[in-house]
Structure 1
Amino acid sequence: MYVAQVLGVAGAYYLAGRLGLMRQVVIDGAVVTPLWPPTGIALAALLCLGVRVWPGIALGTLVTVTEIGDAFTVSRLAIMLGNTVAPLAAYALLRRVGFRNELARLRDGVCLVFLGAFAGMLISATIGSFTLLLDDKVPPGRFWLVWASWWAGDAMGVLVVTPVLLVLRGARWPRRNDRWLEASVLAVAVVVMSLIATRSSLSMIYVVFPVIIWSALRFQLPGSAPCALVVSVLAILAGTDALGPFAGHSLMEIMANLSLLNGCVALTALLLGAIVAEHKNIRRETEYAVEELEALVEQLAPLSGPDSGRYEDRPRRHGPLDGGPHPDDP
């Protein structure tokens, strides 16, 4: 079982790397991508399966890095080391602050953004960029440009891919038909709005945000995280082909615009979805606490009179504390 998990992580990392490299950008000899999905897969694997699957990340990184160049060198070994250590460091930081995979609290979303994505991916970007600098593949004057592009791609991988994998692990099928209808309309809307935003020559890039907000308010992260992924993928396809609002811009301008758009979309989906989920959980816990308090009051001070009834004889809403669904659950 353990070997299968390691090989599965390695295979997923490699396939995600191949997908990411389909839209690679070469900046002064450095191969970077606007979104590097393997970092999101690596961190999600560590969070779900534990730190023991790190050999799968190392193996997947080794195969992916080897395919980029003609030969395996010491510099590529250093890049492999950085890409392996970065998600491990992000995992350690998240576990240290009590991160929960359900992403049902605002603090979990904030920790994933600042510790998992922004802080953790500093390692891979720094080691990779310095390696290319020492290998004379990046001019000293362009170091920070390569570093920023590398870091942004790795961070976007965590912000966009990791939430999708975490919510899919615990996702439930909607139990009401109207939720299926709304989810279908939402799926169509996010694709249509994303195509309009990324293919139109007009400045309509922000029309995707109402759809992201809708998905977060109605479906929380199980809805907003996949929507953010769709927007990011379609934006990268348009950006790397210099279509729509990305036409006529330089490569670095396109990379900067893609990073800002993907970052804003991912942050909106992640943080707003976590806020809504946290508020719903607080409301449910409050309702259950009130019901339990009512039961205690009824037992300590029973009502008198022929029409009075014991609390346990009265109809009562059932929730997770009683083994039943909550009325607001889909």
Structure 2
Amino acid sequence: MTAVVVTRLNRSSVEPVLKALAVALCYYVAGRLGLLGRLVVEGVVVTPIWPPTGVAVVALLVFGLRVWPGIALGSFLVIASLTTPRLTTLVTVLGSVAAPFCAVLLLRRARFRLDIARLRDGLALVLGGLAAMLIAPTVGAGMQLLTGDLETGEFWAVWLAWWVGDAMGVLLVTPLLLVAVGAVGRLRRAGWTELVCLVLATVVLVPVAALSRLSMLYIVFPLLIWAALRFQLAGSMLCALFASVLTSFEANAGRGAFEQLSAVEIMVKLQAFNGAAALTALLLSAMVSEAHATRHSVENACNELAEVLEHLAAGGPPPEPSTSHAVDTEADGPPRR
């Protein structure tokens, strides 16, 4: 019995450490991938999409708040891979931990569900992500301003680019990771033929939109609407992420719609597109999923009512109400884990 108790205690103490190390590794890998599309604004390296924020939010949602040391370690390793760590590095790491931590607290407060099957879940992710991600750029850029690494006139450009990059990481990466961990489920297929057509259209039209000098980025949005209506969250977010990543690389190269623009103009134009694409894909897919769940619930209620009427017409007792196909649509239910 003693050996069994000791084994259970060791397992309970080792498991959080392993989870934190796994989070740190995922954070670091996501950070290195995000740096592939980095831009330099006012002499500071920023990224249009910072995937580690999405990794951090999902890790805290799925594994719990106690894995925050993994986020801190991952953030420190990313910074150390770019420059020699200093005292200001610790402040930046603190902001990188506090932002997703507060985002998860806000999502829990809003009773966020990991399947993002309701419009309120999509809105909670948008509002919570935008609000909480204010912390990291304020702390990081503010510290650089205090230490003299940033001039006063450079602060707002760096702060805005930093904030939008973190927010895009939450809006684009978090839903896809929730799909990957199985919280949302499989990609809903409207048919293989339609799926292939959507993929082909995306592969053809997104490069055309990004490479064209005529600023044709708007042609991406019909694809996002198509994907959201027919394939919900998985399809729409994959399409949005592909468009955002490809457009970010073109912006970094200063080609296509971003030719002959300054670094600040490129960042503003790119983030306006990324933000619009992310919001369109996330909110529309959440609305469609909620509508499907409501219709399914109404259909089940109608079927049960028809069975009750048939039994009453036959003179028998009404059947017991069925709950096997019930759909949880309660707005204030507990968040799904």
Q: RMSD value over aligned CA atoms?
A: 2.2
Instruction: State the match for 2:335 in structure 1.
Output: none
Gaps of 5+ in 1: 313-317, 323-330
Q: 1:292 Cα shift?
A: 1.7
Partner AA of 2:112 in structure 1: F
Instruction: State the match for 2:245 in structure 1.
Output: 233
- SS of equivalent to 1:220: helix
Instruction: State the match for 2:86 in structure 1.
Output: 73
Instruction: State the match for 2:314 in structure 1.
Output: 303
Partners of 2:36 and 2:227 lie apart in 1 by 29
Partner AA of 1:95 in structure 2: R
Instruction: State the match for 2:226 in structure 1.
Output: 214
Q: 1:55 Cα shift?
A: 1.2
- 1:110 matched to 2:115? The reply is no
Instruction: State the match for 1:245 in structure 2.
Output: 257
- 2:296 maps to which of 272, 279, 284: 284
- 1:137 maps to which of 149, 171, 184: 149
TM-score (normalizing by structure 2): 0.87
- SS of equivalent to 1:302: helix
Partners of 2:72 and 2:187 lie apart in 1 by 37
**Deviation string for 1:1-20 (max 9, x for gaps)?**
33332111111110111111
Q: 1:102 Cα shift?
A: 0.4
Conservation of the 8 A alpha-carbon contact between 2:98 and 2:136: yes
Q: 1:188 Cα shift?
A: 2.3
Partner AA of 1:29 in structure 2: G
**Deviation string for 1:264-314 (max 9, x for gaps)?**
000000000000000000000011111222223333x2237xxxx9998xx
- SS of equivalent to 1:219: helix
Q: 1:50 Cα shift?
A: 1.4
Conservation of the 8 A alpha-carbon contact between 1:13 and 1:61: yes
Q: 1:32 Cα shift?
A: 1.1
Partner AA of 1:145 in structure 2: A
How many corresponding residue pairs?
310
Q: Which has the higher contact order (CA 8 A, sep 6+)?
A: 2
* Residues 90/174 of structure 1: CA separation in 2 closer, same or farther (3 Å cut): closer
Conservation of the 8 A alpha-carbon contact between 1:168 and 1:222: no
Instruction: State the match for 2:7 in structure 1.
Output: none
Partner AA of 1:210 in structure 2: P
- 1:126 matched to 2:131? The reply is no
**Deviation string for 1:113-148 (max 9, x for gaps)?**
011x21010000100110110121110122111111
TM-score (normalizing by structure 1): 0.88
Q: In the TM superposition, what are the counterparts of 1:1-330 in structure 2 within 5 Å?
A: 1-69=15-83, 71-115=84-128, 117-170=129-182, 172-173=185-186, 179-299=191-311, 301-303=312-314, 320-321=325-326
Partner AA of 2:260 in structure 1: G
Conservation of the 8 A alpha-carbon contact between 2:308 and 2:318: no
Q: 1:174 Cα shift?
A: 6.1
Partners of 2:293 and 2:197 lie apart in 1 by 26
Partner AA of 2:28 in structure 1: Y
Instruction: State the match for 1:315 in structure 2.
Output: none
Partners of 1:133 and 1:91 lie apart in 2 by 28
Partners of 1:49 and 1:164 lie apart in 2 by 17
* Residues 180/5 of structure 1: CA separation in 2 closer, same or farther (3 Å cut): farther
Partner AA of 1:124 in structure 2: A
Partners of 1:261 and 1:26 lie apart in 2 by 19
Gaps of 5+ in 2: 1-14, 328-337
Conservation of the 8 A alpha-carbon contact between 2:75 and 2:96: yes
Conservation of the 8 A alpha-carbon contact between 1:288 and 1:319: no
- SS of equivalent to 1:101: coil
- SS of equivalent to 1:297: helix
* Residues 9/284 of structure 1: CA separation in 2 closer, same or farther (3 Å cut): same
- SS of equivalent to 1:5: helix
Partners of 1:185 and 1:53 lie apart in 2 by 41
- SS of equivalent to 1:103: coil
Partners of 2:112 and 2:255 lie apart in 1 by 39
Partners of 2:265 and 2:314 lie apart in 1 by 73
Conservation of the 8 A alpha-carbon contact between 1:167 and 1:222: yes
Partners of 1:193 and 1:120 lie apart in 2 by 34
- Identity over aligned pairs, percent: 47
